Each structure stands twice: as C-alpha cells, then as structure tokens.
Amino acid sequence: MSSEPEVLARIESGVGRVTLNRPAALHALTTNMCRLITAALLDWRGDDAVHCVLIDHAGERGFCAGGDIRMLAESGAGDGKLAREFFFTEYRLNQLLFAYPKPVCAVMDGVTMGGGVGLSMPASVRIATERTTFAMPETGIGLFPDVGGGWFLPRLPGKTGLWLALTGARIKAADCARLGVATHFMPFDQVADFKKALAEHPGSLVGALAHFVDDAGPAPIEPHLADIDRLFGGASVEAIFADLEADGGDWALAQLATLKTKSPQTLKVAFRQLSEGGALGLFADNMAMEYRIGARVVQRHDFLEGVRAVIVDKDNAPRWDPADLAGVTPALLDQIFAPLPADEEWTPLT
C-alpha cells in the first residue's frame, strides 16, 4: 500500500490546490479522499488568502475514473453501510463544490468519469485537453449516473445529456466544449504554464485563462445532434428503443445495439432520474434524490452483477435481472426512488 496521501491539499500563492493522488487507481475516489477534499474546501472558504481553487491530478493517466467500485460492490453484497457512507460523503462534497463562494477550476485532463464528473461539473471553470475522455458509463455496471448527473445532464443541450446517460458514450474535448461539459479547451502542453500564471495572478482566473485557451476544433457530435434530439425524445425508454429501431439508420442501430447491452433497470432509473432532476429547482434536492437511489441500487442484483462481469471476471456478459425493460415496472422504480426514513435521508453540509 502506498504511503503517499490520496489527496494533496495546500495553498500556493493564493490558490487552493487540490491534487488527486491515487494514480494507480486512476484517482478513483474513496471516502477518505472525499473527506480530505471537503476539509480543505471548508478551511479555504473563509480564508481571504485563498482567491480560487484548482482541482487537478498527479501523474499522467487521467483526472478521475470514478469511485471505488470494488468497495461499493463488496459493501453492497453485505449490509451496504460503507457504500451508503461513501455516497453520503461524496454527495456532500458535490454540493459544497456546487455552492462554493470562490471560483473553482477543474482540469479535466485524461479520463473524467463518474466521481470525476462530480468533482468537475460543479466547477465554474472546466478545462478539457486533447487527452480528455468524458463519460458517465454507469448503465453498463448496473449503477446510475449519480454525483449530480440528474441535475447536470438534463441541462445539456437538447437530449444530449440523456443520450450520454443511457448509452455511456465517451466524448472527447471538442464534444465537451460543444455541449458545455467543458467551459474551455486548453492544449495539454499549456496546462503547466497556465497553473504558473494563475499562481502569479490568483485573483484573476479569467485573465490567466485568456493566454492559454484555444479552439477545440469541430465537434464530431455535431452531425448527430438533431438525431439525438429526435431519437432520444421519447416519453419512455421503450419509446426510445422503438424510435431507434424504426429509424433503421446505421447510427441509430448502433445506439440501439449499445442500449441492449445495458442494465434495463439502470436505463429506466436514469431516465426517471434525469426527468425528475431536470424539473428540480435546487441542486441539494437532486442530491437527496440520488442518495435514495444509490442507497438502494448498490445492494440490488444488477450492480453486483455488473461489477462482476465488467470489473472482476471481465467476461462482459452480465446477466441482468430483470432481463428486459418490461420487467422494470413502475412499482419497482417507485421503491428505488421512495424517500428513506427521516433519520437516513441525505442532508447537505451546514
């Protein structure tokens, strides 16, 4: 086990620096990491010496690949206590970032998935590089696009957020910029100089950015935006399947084939999650909804089976239960989304 701290938190020249430091695990978040980041942000919130916050990662392999999925599955196979503790702590961090009173800049270099999305999407400045790969791949492991996905994804242009949530599609920098996932594009070889400039002028994040941002180029998703809005605009997951099949084009059939590999339960959970989250007025209410979902889904068959198939045995042949969309009934969804007992509900930090 490494003796290195999982998070490097320090103040450098007026910048609160948070560096994820678990490179062997692609900086997948642990409960301890969430606590360390939260503690630093709380310390800096009222510190006049800290003008802004910069979140980045150590090493070369990626920003953050998600959460500690193996721990979640091991806990979910038992009493689920540690999994619920992780979600509770992580979601409080997401809320803290969302409402943070100082500018936050996330450098989304490399893999940015799951928990990494939860760290970056609340930031006021989100930098993508040519190495960025952004995705919410949870439908493939029977989880759901959490960490604020119910808030951020339905607020992306058209139905692109729903498309990302259901298919788990991976997008690169130009698409991130086109959809607003990233606020800026910066060539990777400029990132170090940007950080130096920010340290020299910590009170002017916008000014530091101006010297290093660039055009991400044409977005590969552009020709498909109208198709996404048309084919992912149905009133149910079943309607989306039917529209894709009826279209019959190569792109539509490729999306349908992808969806057929995903957990039917998660597809319907994500559809309802984004529908409800898109109508909410408070980010905290979305996180409370997601905690209810997470507290239950982590102990259900599809998550445990998805982790087995994709991460443990790597046979990529999950046996979902229910096996089809028809088996995921409104009553089942109501159980997953229902309020928890009052003393078990999620609450934001005060």
Active site residues: 67, 115, 138, 146
Contact of 263 with 138, CB cutoff 8 Å? no
DSSP code at position 287: H
- C-alpha count within 13 angstroms, C-beta hemisphere, residue 204: 9
**Dist. CA 61–CA 172, nearest whole Å:** 15
**Dist. CA 206–CA 326, nearest whole Å:** 50
* Token pair in block for residue 208: 């530091």
User: Kind of pairing, strands 7-12 and 15-20?
Assistant: antiparallel
Place of tokens 């695990």: 25
Give the number of other CB atoms < 10 A from CB of residue 144: 29
**Dist. CA 285–CA 30, nearest whole Å:** 23
Q: Which helix (H) or strand (E) holds 128?
A: strand 125-128
